[in-house]
Structure 1
Amino acid sequence: MSASSLPAAAPAHVLPVIVLAQFAGTSLWFAVNAVMPDLQGAWGLGPAAVGTLTSAVQLGFIAGTLVFAVLSVADRFSPRWVFLACAVAGAACNALGAHAAGSLDALLVRRFATGFFLAGIYPVGMKIAASWYPQGLGAALGWLVGALVLGTASPHLLRAVGTHWPWQQVMDAVSLLALAGGLLLAATVPDGPHLPRAARLQWRALGALWTHRPVRASAFGYFGHMWELYTFWVLVPAIVGTRLAGASASAAAFAVIALGTLGCVVGGLLVRRFGSVRVANVQLAASGLCCLLAPWMLHAPDLAFALWLAVWGTTVVGDSPQFSTLTAQNAPREAVGSLLTLVNSIGFAVSIVSIQLFAMLAARFDLAPLLPWLAVGPVLGLWMMRGLGRVR
């Protein structure tokens, strides 16, 4: 992002620090996923355990977003201190999860708690950005979601670098990264001059999902996107594992997921020329096509296999900032915060269903006939998004 595209009121360091802190904090999200082979070997867990543990984080995030919205936590307290407190708490829960002494139940509780505190990192980071960039939030949002993607991928990179580290040490390193991000943001980024108020959750706003056509279109497009996104990220290690093993597989998993950062940032820049609807639809269609091509690409030559995963990793999340932007633009002014909270909560609930279903099926069936069913989400999302370009 060029300096000329940012409001003059924002010091040059603000957006890079928020992005870096967001990256560090959201690294907690997939910390367990990066060490699952070691965890399964040490604890004797089945293949479906990865889905259960990921769903625990998703469920915690849903609970956290609803609690934070109902209590207006980021409105009653300084958002940067909320971010720091949740980074500290999330890092502690993640580190405690690394020392759960072989108890899956204890690890599930700690992963749920980690997800809960992520609700004070990812959405609150966006609120802090909004307080500095009220006119340039669309482009800033592309950077922030990109940071989420990079943070999600980072535990796989740590696993690749620390091939000989015990899995507990990898999770401890992720916790230290999240803690450092919280401290950095709290120390260097003050509350912005345009701090938006977080209205209490308006449950009646849910009705707009059905009665207001533009909101319904963007929300259900997002739900279709969420059916695919996190399940794909959960399955990436298994997909690259069909060709690679060990540190190479971890590095490849990092690269595939991290490419989503490019999709988010470039998509945010293209919005000015093509609009959010077109950018979201093109990326959703591209990722859906990648799902359908899976039976052929899994057995394709290495170059074609790598290009397929690169395109899928780039486009699977690049539409996410645009769905949030469209929902915010189309929602009734008095209910923007409530609708975004509710749409995000429903979207993450959809991801739990998808993750659990596909993790269970992946333990029983080959990936080739299974992955195309991820396209159900993009197809339904595109169907719901039809005509939205003519509305706006």
Structure 2
Amino acid sequence: MPDQPLAPPARILPTIVFSQFAGTSLWFAGNAVLPELQASLQLQEGALALMTSAVQLGFIAGTLVFAFLSLSDRFSPRLLFMLCALLGAIANALVPFVAASLVPVLILRAITGFLLAGIYPVGMKIAASWYSARLGKAIGYLVGALVLGTAFPHLIRGLGATLPWQQVLLAISMLAAIGGVLLYLLVPDGPFLSKGATFKMGNMLQAFRDKAFRAAAFGYFGHMWELYTLWAFTPLILVTIAPQLSGGQVSVYTFLVIAAGAVGCIGGGYLSQVWGSARVAFVQLLLSGICCLLSVFMFQVEAPLVLVVFLLFWGVVVAGDSPQFSALTAKTAPAHLVGTALTIVVAIGFAITVVSIQLTGFLLTLLPIHAVFALLAIGPALGLGALRRLLIS
């Protein structure tokens, strides 16, 4: 009888989860200190959309370049993760030194986004090299870590409201660097580490010929239209509707709203073992779409507690379907094109976030806030229409 792979050491998943959390804390680091950057650069309200979109565009470019060069297949993924975490930490720490001009700040944020392509997707590959049968649950924890990492800069800003913003960025950089080093030292290459196909643009059309893959991909695209736009504009929503909140309170509540998505990710991972990924993703996407529509009324309620409770629920369901879409796209992609197919889907998904963020920022200059976010329901509506095919197949 052939030898069976041993169960992963107990430290593996917690280390990967912590490192993913630490590395992805770089994502919204610029957003967390945006008021200070706006004052330094004399920026107008459009700065929020610019700062977020710079990271998103960098991430899109990074995913395509990393896949085209097959970096995580040609080199140790744990080494790649550590190098990207260290370089991303340096790029983030350099922002205070160029904060007198907008262009260098945006360039550094784009570089940070580029390097995040060596953290978030590569962390998934590392997890897959250790977990085979339980990968769905592991992905739930990993995406939950991404959500917490994205939210964490707002918590640092909120709890350390008296700290200079430069120290906030430095603390985030130190966290990311520690996460990268710990993963390299404590997580060796797993027993299921495999080589993927070389990236070829022509493979994209082949992957999208499959109806099930198209359904999963377009469901994910609808989800992405809503997700990062809500995350990016949560501080603005709180400031506009509840101006009595202090800056520290706004940061802490923003952290809680974004971090609530981790509950949806992990809880959805467990539910998917009973309901299946398609049903869990459908229900969460439906609920988040309903929240988009309800925002027309909820964003006119002058009660901070009611607003925060509503945003917390929205935060749970808006992100909770992310792991299930990852599982669905991986499951329905052609077996020999999983890496290429997932890369294209992620790149398109993040390109959609840039359009959504920029459009929302523009509409906020023309319309009252309660009239804008209902338009995010377009994404869930289209995503549900696509995803329905997987439920009835």
Same fold (TM over 0.5): yes
Distance 1:323 1:183 in 2: 29
Match of 1:280 in 2: 281
CA shift for structure 1 position 198: 2.6
CA shift for structure 1 position 361: 2.0
Match of 2:82 in 1: 84
- Cα deviations across residues 301-326 of structure 1 (Å, max 9, x unaligned)? 44432321111000111111111111
Distance 2:115 2:305 in 1: 40
8 Å contact from structure 2 (residues 212, 389) kept in 1: no
Matched ranges for 1:216-231 at <5 A: 216-231=214-229
> After the TM superposition, which parts of structure 1 deviate over 4 Å for at least 4 consecutive aligned residues?
none
- In structure 2, do the counterparts of structure 1 residues 103 and 303 end up closer, same or farther at CA, with 3 Å as the change threshold? closer
Alignment equivalent of 2:182, drawn from 181, 184, 190: 184
Match of 1:333 in 2: 335
Distance 1:128 1:296 in 2: 44
**Percent identity over the alignment?**
54
1:193 partner SS: coil
1:99 partner SS: helix
Matched ranges for 1:77-156 at <5 A: 77-156=75-154
One-letter amino acid of the counterpart of residue 316, structure 1: V
Work out whether 1:37 is the aligned partner of 2:35: yes
Match of 1:60 in 2: 58
- In structure 2, the gaps of 5 or more residues are none
- Cα deviations across residues 153-212 of structure 1 (Å, max 9, x unaligned)? 000001011111121211111111100100111111111111021321132332145421
- In structure 2, do the counterparts of structure 1 residues 197 and 296 end up closer, same or farther at CA, with 3 Å as the change threshold? same
- Cα deviations across residues 34-66 of structure 1 (Å, max 9, x unaligned)? 111111122110111111111111111111111
Work out whether 1:19 is the aligned partner of 2:13: no
- In structure 1, the gaps of 5 or more residues are 1-6
One-letter amino acid of the counterpart of residue 65, structure 1: T
Distance 1:17 1:141 in 2: 14
2:163 partner SS: coil
- In structure 2, do the counterparts of structure 1 residues 20 and 274 end up closer, same or farther at CA, with 3 Å as the change threshold? same
One-letter amino acid of the counterpart of residue 291, structure 1: C
Match of 1:4 in 2: none
Distance 2:194 2:312 in 1: 37
2:129 partner SS: helix
Distance 1:361 1:165 in 2: 33
One-letter amino acid of the counterpart of residue 239, structure 1: I
Work out whether 1:355 is the aligned partner of 2:352: no
8 Å contact from structure 1 (residues 208, 216) kept in 2: no
Distance 2:329 2:351 in 1: 18
CA shift for structure 1 position 389: 1.5
CA shift for structure 1 position 356: 1.0
| TM-score normalised according to structure 1 size | 0.96
Matched ranges for 1:365-376 at <5 A: 365-376=367-378
**Which segment drifts farther, 45-54 or 358-367?**
358-367
8 Å contact from structure 1 (residues 294, 368) kept in 2: yes
**Which segment drifts farther, 304-313 or 106-115?**
304-313
8 Å contact from structure 1 (residues 99, 168) kept in 2: no
One-letter amino acid of the counterpart of residue 280, structure 2: V
Distance 2:31 2:54 in 1: 12
1:132 partner SS: coil
One-letter amino acid of the counterpart of residue 23, structure 1: F
One-letter amino acid of the counterpart of residue 305, structure 1: L
Alignment equivalent of 1:390, drawn from 386, 389, 392: 392
- Cα deviations across residues 226-262 of structure 1 (Å, max 9, x unaligned)? 1100010011001122222311110000000000000
8 Å contact from structure 1 (residues 97, 110) kept in 2: yes
One-letter amino acid of the counterpart of residue 370, structure 2: A
CA shift for structure 1 position 8: 4.7
Matched ranges for 1:285-324 at <5 A: 285-300=286-301, 301-324=303-326
Match of 1:254 in 2: 255
